[in-house]
Amino acid sequence: MKIEAVMFAVIASFALAAALASVACASDGVFTMKVGGFEVSMLSEVQRKGGLDILIGASSSDVERFIPDGEYPNAVAVYMIRSADGVVLVDTGYGTALERNMESLGVRPEDVKDILITHSHGDHIGGLLKEEERAFPNARIHVSKAEYEWSPSMRDALDKYGGDVNMIGPGTLDDGAEVLPGVRAIAAYGHTPGHTMFMLESKGERLLFWGDLTHAMAIQMPRPGVSVRYDSDPVKAAEVRKSVLEYVSRNKIPAAGAHIAYPGVGDISADQENPGGYRFTPKN
């Protein structure tokens, strides 16, 4: 409990500093694409630069090679999925720009039917509440049981949702647990004890929402073994990152991440010139 509380405090302070220091460009607020019968929108809260101080296991030579300026593109984003079945959110960010971004697409908070939570850090669940009340009056929350039990902040936020909370037991990349039609939950523990990814699939197309699998794409793609100080288990986080990158690159599955700079979605491929490393090609 003490470790989780410290982690939450660190991230909360980082979030405040970022919110004060960064402003998302209006042109970078929303990116929309199709995945089979679904429409997926990246809703940006912040587009910013990240620093070297959060990195764990990055050699000086790799920093010089991949982050020569000492900073790299970073972001905070929420993802919205729309279909004939309704509106689904993947996380809620800080909540600072979420409602405005949704309204730009003609969606109101009361339209949200389900919210998939990757994990309990403040930049993912901050938007669940508005003025200490539930921000999404008609939504059902889906979260891993392991994350809920680990995180007091998660339990506090979800108290307002009462019985509208579904505890899930995420599966594997090959056999994820179905949460909603076309959506499977996949365990990616390491960043937090219950960190969960979500695979969207429709008409032969797939998209993996990988939450906080990465924070510093500039170095974590070519060097997946580099972790960050927000990881509750940096070693396990690195192991999971390597296995997920190998899987999505081999199966040609695009990925969407909460901290990938605009547009937040892209294709992963093995870097043939850098064994063990990967390349990320943003969607356009």
What's the token pair of residue 154? 């998660």
3-state secondary structure at position 76: strand
3-state secondary structure at position 196: strand
Asked if 167 contacts 20 with a C-beta cutoff of 8 angstroms, the reply is: no
Q: Which of 275, 278, 257, 255 lies closest to 267, judged by CA?
A: 255
Asked if 67 contacts 55 with a C-beta cutoff of 8 angstroms, the reply is: no
What does the pLDDT profile of the chain (284 residues) look like in tens digits? 444 443 444 344 334 333 333 333 334 589 999 999 999 999 999 999 999 999 999 999 999 999 999 999 999 999 999 999 999 999 999 999 999 999 999 999 999 999 999 999 999 999 999 999 999 999 999 999 999 999 999 999 999 999 999 999 999 999 999 999 999 999 999 999 999 999 999 999 999 999 999 999 999 999 999 999 999 999 999 999 999 999 999 999 999 999 999 999 999 999 999 999 999 999 98
The Cβ-side half-sphere exposure at 8, using a 13 Å CA radius, reads 18
* Ramachandran class of 132: left when φ > 0, alpha when ψ lies in -120 to 50, beta otherwise: left
What's the token pair of residue 94? 């800080």
Length of the chain: 284
Residues 6+ apart with CB under 8 A from 201: 35, 36, 182, 183, 184
Asked if 160 contacts 129 with a C-beta cutoff of 8 angstroms, the reply is: yes
3-state secondary structure at position 171: strand
Question: Domain coordinates of the chain in residue numbers?
Answer: 2-282
Q: What is the pTM for the complete model shown? A: 0.90
Topology of domain 2-282, per CATH? Metallo-beta-lactamase; Chain A (3.60.15)
